[in-house]
A and B are shown apart, each in its own frame.
Chain A
């Protein structure tokens, strides 16, 4: 089955039809999606700015990352579930769209960077501890990746 036939089948399922018929459904799910993005970006911003040595340099990296890392997993779960609902409601807009798949790869990269660099920072107790190798460029790269994810998200609606 091609992606296109699958999209057409999904589009016609009673669930997808029900989602589209409730006028409030898509805007409400999109709003929750944006709120989860804001939580993810807020958490990523503070953690990564600390790892990049820009803010809170008088606090141990672990003390900063410990506060925000636990928000990122649940935010991802909310993003994936609301995203799934949006795909079910309008499969043609996403599954056959290259920008959507680029976004998915970027989301994976964002979380790989988080696991690879923010998690190890949890062990950096002293304020002046030597950072994990490449932590600074990884911190900036992570922020750029989240910004690119937002760009792709908006452009899905136009491509």
Chain B
């Protein structure tokens, strides 16, 4: 089955029809998506700013990460689920939308930035856990993370203005 056929099959699925045919459903999904974004970006920003060297309520970065990361991940999961539901409602249109595709690329880049952080400087966290300012590698990861998530949100907002299908 070609990609185009798969996208059309998704578009014609019961779930997709249900979302499109019931007017309050899509904005409700979007509202949860925005709540998820606010929680993801709000909590990541606190960690990133601490990584850059701004004080948080925890001096220890490791404590801060342990405390806030479950919220970030839970909210990210909600963003993915609600994002998938919006995609299902209009799969061919999203796949055809440059802003959506770039958004996925930048989310992947944010994930890679996080993995590099965890695989490198974070392994030696005990050496710089309470240091202000933190080492440059940590500060760079923080700046990159904020920049990438900002871009994700900007691209996301542009999808609403460029998506071909409005139902």
How many residues of A sit at the interface, in one of the four size bands? 20 to 34
Q: Is the CB of B55 within 8 A of A34?
A: no
- Pick the contact of A37: B27, B30, B34 (CB < 8 A): B34
Interface membership of B37, Cβ < 8 A: yes
- Pick the contact of A68: B27, B57, B153, B157 (CB < 8 A): B57
Tell me the bound Cα distance from A30 to B157 in angstroms: 7
How many residues of B sit at the interface, in one of the four size bands? 20 to 34
Chain A 116-159 near chain B by CB (<8 Å), digits 1 or 0: 00000000000000000000000000000001001101110110
Interface membership of B31, Cβ < 8 A: yes
Chain A 89-129 near chain B by CB (<8 Å), digits 1 or 0: 00000000000000000000000000000000000000000
Contacts of A68 in B (CB 8 A): 57
Interface membership of B58, Cβ < 8 A: yes
Interface membership of A8, Cβ < 8 A: no
Interface residues in A12-65 by Cβ distance below 8 A to B read: 23, 26-28, 30-31, 34-35, 37-43, 45-46, 50, 55-56, 59, 63-64
Question: Given A63-B57, A64-B57, A67-B57 in contact, is the A147-B35 Cβ separation under 8 Å?
Answer: yes
Q: Is the CB of A154 within 8 A of B31?
A: yes
Report which residue of A26, A150, A153 has the largest number of chain B beta carbons within 10 angstroms of its beta carbon: A150
Distance in angstroms from B82 CB to nearest chain A CB is 11
Tell me the bound Cα distance from A28 to B151 in angstroms: 11
Contacts of B43 in A (CB 8 A): 42, 45-46
Contacts of A147 in B (CB 8 A): 35
Tell me the bound Cα distance from A37 to B39 in angstroms: 9
- Interface of B (DSSP majority class): helix
Q: Is the CB of B57 within 8 A of A46?
A: yes
Distance in angstroms from A59 CB to nearest chain B CB is 6
Tell me the bound Cα distance from A42 to B67 in angstroms: 13
Interface residues of A, Cβ cutoff 8 Å to B:
23, 26-28, 30-31, 34-35, 37-43, 45-46, 50, 55-56, 59, 63-64, 67-68, 147, 150-151, 153-155, 157-158
Q: Can you give 21 contacting A-B residue pairs, CB < 8 Å?
A: A34-B157, A35-B153, A37-B38, A38-B38, A40-B38, A42-B39, A42-B42, A43-B42, A45-B71, A46-B43, A46-B57, A46-B68, A55-B67, A56-B67, A59-B57, A67-B55, A154-B27, A154-B30, A155-B27, A155-B31, A158-B23
